[in-house]
């Protein structure tokens, strides 16, 4: 069976319920998903040191978690999760509103990547609701090694595709599903353009084109 014609239901992370949600927005097969191209890209692979951060600007940083926990507020049922991250140049706080589950994700001494817009508040400069990745193993030890970071992340530390949100399908969810579909692509795909034409016009084959349109290097 043609892989691109396979039902999304059998893609890892989908299942019958999510497949039904995807079908409601017109996505039934792997081909439907991979031909829903990003509407734009964000370059989240250029890291700044904490000391160079400025308010009002979006930035990517890589650092070590110093502390993590839920901060109480005066408003009932409103909680703030707060993260303190440091690098060799300083430290900065990141906060998320009403996301206490992050306490199960972040722990001291982890290396993390954060991407978001810097806000100047009464508590000082901080990142509010940033995108995040927790880096695994020794590959993150050298923040200058872009290749190791890219291997470990989908949502930060690289050129990131941004997809249009449709129904319950968020851009982050699409990013995960597209990446999973791409990792399972066969080595060769049927191509409507003859190989002789591809070579003469110096065009990418279909497989490479699908990979690069979603995750350009």
> Quick check: 141 pLDDT over 50?
no
Same domain as 102, residue 27: no
Per residue in 12-24, pLDDT tens? 888 888 888 888 8
For residue 148, pLDDT beyond 50: no
Same structural domain, 104 and 198: no
114 and 49 together in one domain: yes
> Within this chain, do residues 183 and 152 fall inside the same structural domain, yes or no?
no
In this structure, are 70 and 129 located in the same domain?
Answer: yes
CA distance 66 to 70: 14
108 in the same domain as 167: no
pLDDT of amino acid 172: 85
Domain that holds residue 27: 3-39+163-214
CA-to-CA dists, residue 131 to 77, 116, 151, 207, angstroms: 23, 6, 17, 29
Give me the number of domains the chain comprises.
2
The better pLDDT of the pair 12, 149 is held by 12
Q: Which pLDDT band, with edges at 50, 70 and 90, does 129 fall under? A: very high
- Give the end of a domain, one of 116, 133, 159: 159
Same domain, 64 and 149: yes
Confidence tier at 150 by pLDDT (50, 70, 90): very low
Q: What does the DSSP assignment read for 2-37?
A: -GGGSBGGGSTT-HHHHHHHHHHTT--BHHHHHTS-
Which of these, 58, 41, 11, lies nearest to 176 by C-alpha position?
11
What pLDDT is stored for residue 142 in this prediction?
A: 39
Note whether 150 and 118 are same-domain residues.
yes
48, 31: one domain: no
CATH number at residue 125: 2.40.50.140
> Which of 138, 159, 180 is the last residue before a domain boundary?
159
Residue 185 has pLDDT above 70, yes or no: yes
Q: What's the confidence (pLDDT) of residue 139? A: 37
Question: Which of 68, 131, 135, 127 is closest to 103 using CA atoms?
Answer: 68
Q: Mark which of 159, 175, 193 sits at the end of a domain.
A: 159
CA 100 – CA 6 distance, rounded (Å): 38
**DSSP H or E stretch at residue 113:** strand 111-121
Say if CB 49 and CB 162 are below 8 A apart: no
Mean pLDDT of 173-200: 91
Task: Look over the chain and give the mean of its residue pLDDT values, rounded to a whole number.
Answer: 86
CATH of the domain at 195: 1.10.150
Rounded to 5°, angle at Cα 156 from 125 and 56: 30
Residue 1 clears pLDDT 70, i.e. is over it: no
**What are the pLDDT digits (tens) for 58-111?**
998 999 999 999 887 788 878 899 999 999 999 999 999 988 899 999 999 999
How crowded is residue 141: how many other Cβ atoms within 10 Å of its Cβ? 10
Say yes or no: 33 and 48 in one domain.
no
Whether residue 85 sits in one domain with residue 113 = yes
Q: What is the DSSP string of 49-112?
A: -GGG--TT-EEEEEEEEEEEEEEP-SSTT--EEEEEEEETTEEEEEEEES-GGGGGT--TT-EE
Same domain, 99 and 168: no
């Amino acid at each position: 069976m043609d892989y691109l014609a396979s039902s999304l239901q059998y893609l890892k992370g989908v299942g019958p319920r999510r497949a039904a949600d995807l079908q409601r927005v017109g996505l039934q097969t792997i081909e439907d998903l991979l031909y829903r191209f990003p509407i734009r890209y964000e370059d989240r692979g250029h890291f700044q040191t904490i000391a160079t951060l400025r308010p009002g600007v979006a930035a990517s940083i890589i650092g070590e978690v110093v502390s993590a926990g839920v901060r109480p507020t005066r408003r009932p049922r409103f909680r703030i999760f707060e993260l303190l991250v440091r690098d060799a140049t300083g430290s900065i706080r990141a906060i998320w509103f009403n996301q206490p589950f992050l306490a199960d994700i972040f722990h001291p001494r982890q290396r993390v990547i954060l991407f978001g817009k810097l806000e100047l508040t009464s508590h000082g400069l901080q990142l509010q609701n940033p995108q995040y990745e927790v880096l695994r193993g020794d590959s993150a030890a050298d923040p200058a090694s872009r290749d190791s970071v890219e291997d470990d992340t989908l949502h930060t530390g690289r050129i990131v595709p941004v997809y249009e949100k449709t129904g319950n399908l968020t851009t982050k969810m699409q990013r995960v599903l597209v990446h999973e579909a791409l990792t399972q692509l066969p080595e060769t795909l049927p191509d409507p353009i003859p190989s002789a034409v591809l070579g003469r016009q110096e065009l990418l084959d279909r497989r490479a084109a699908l990979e690069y349109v979603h995750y350009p290097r």
